Amino acid sequence: MATAEHAHDAHDDGHHDVEYLPSLNPAPSYWPFLLSVTMAFIPAGTVILLWGGDALRFVGWSLVLLGLGSSLVPVMGWCHSVIVDKWAGHFGEAAQGRDLVLGTKLFFLSEIAIFGSVFAYFFGCLHDIHGDPEKFWPLDGSPAHWHVSLPAIGLGILLASSITCEVAHKALLKGKKGLCKDWMLVTIALGLIFLAIQGYEWGVFMERGFTVGSNVFGTVFYVLTGFHGFHVMTGLIMLLLVYGRLEIGHFSKRRHFSMQAASWYWHLVDVVWIFVFVFVYALYEAY
């Protein structure tokens, strides 16, 4: 395995100044199209869950789970094709790094825009509520007393996972791959604990009758926390892929952009939860 890695580094050393090799342009990939098809099941199932009634609840959940499960195949295939293209040397190292960083930043901007739109809707609803003398906060159907202890614990866990993720990255930069893998496992474990806490919280709220259909706040709450939970799951998949590639020796001190991108994504997820915690949980009583 070490031999393969050294060979890969040697290959990079010979092509890192090459910007682009047109004659070696990779073949078009069908994975993005398949991913868009499989992910279409998720919003379709969500719409059925929201407006289909109890009779179609099974159909809605089936479509959502089908979309989540089937999307893993094109995601893995797409990641594999990107890795193969990089190793094949279609682009020089300088061009690869620049394009990957730009693509990652644009992806992050799209994620921020999505979360920002939900927050904008939430603040707009709050403005309407305070401007209408017939509406009072908390809205009918919302919990009278909002407890922040559990989400605060989740916040602490996510912040701790950002630290362990960064420690893992620094360990790889120093060539300590064993230590890097250990801290990656700690990061993954913390992410799983956060998801367990969120799932428990959802169960408690739903048991008390606070659901996505209770009122506009219930809709915003479950959309924001659910969408964030989905991103945590996505981040965990990315971290698991990074761990797997660490095991088979794909990364070196100089070339490990996949781990760097996964680390950036994980930090983004953590920062988003800070905003969710402050505006959805901590300021609930103040509204």
62: domain CATH number is 1.10.287
My answer on whether 121 and 78 are in the same domain is: no
Listed residues 61, 90, 119: the one ending a domain: 90
Determine whether 45 is exposed, middle or buried from the number of CB atoms within 10 Å of its CB (0-12, 13-18, 19+): buried
The pLDDT value given to residue 250: 73
Give yes or no for a contact between 237 and 266, defined as CB atoms under 8 angstroms apart: no
Q: Is residue 236 part of a domain?
A: yes
Residues 70 and 103 in one domain: no
Residue 228 burial (10 A CB sphere; 0-12, 13-18, 19+): buried
The domain boundary, picked from 90, 120, 138, lies at 90
Q: What is the domain range of residue 26?
A: 21-90
**Torsion (CA) 272, 275, 281, 287 in degrees, nearest 10:** -150
Q: pLDDT at position 185, please?
A: 96
DSSP state of 142: S
Q: What pLDDT does 14 receive? A: 44
pLDDT reported for residue 18:
47
Please give the tally of structural domains in the chain: 2
Would you call 166 exposed, middle or buried from its count of C-beta atoms within 10 A (0-12, 13-18, 19+)? middle
Tens digit of pLDDT for each residue in 3-59? 334 434 444 444 444 445 554 556 778 888 898 999 899 889 988 987 888 888 899
Domain boundary among 36, 57, 90: 90
**Side-chain-side CA neighbours of residue 94 (13 Å):** 8
Query: Is residue 287 included in any domain, yes or no?
Result: no
* Same domain (yes/no): 171, 259: yes
Residues 108 and 185 in one domain: yes
Query: Which parts of the chain register pLDDT below 70?
Result: 1-26, 83, 85-99, 254-255
Residue 197 class from Cβ within 10 Å (0-12 exposed, 13-18 middle, 19+ buried)? middle
Claim to verify: residue 56 and residue 162 sit in the same structural domain: no
Predicted local confidence at residue 16, as pLDDT: 46
Note the pLDDT of residue 269.
Answer: 94
pLDDT at 271: 95
Structure-block tokens of residue 76: 């893995």
Do 47 and 124 have their domain in common? no
pLDDT at position 255 is: 67
Of 113, 85, 114, the closest CA to residue 258 belongs to 85
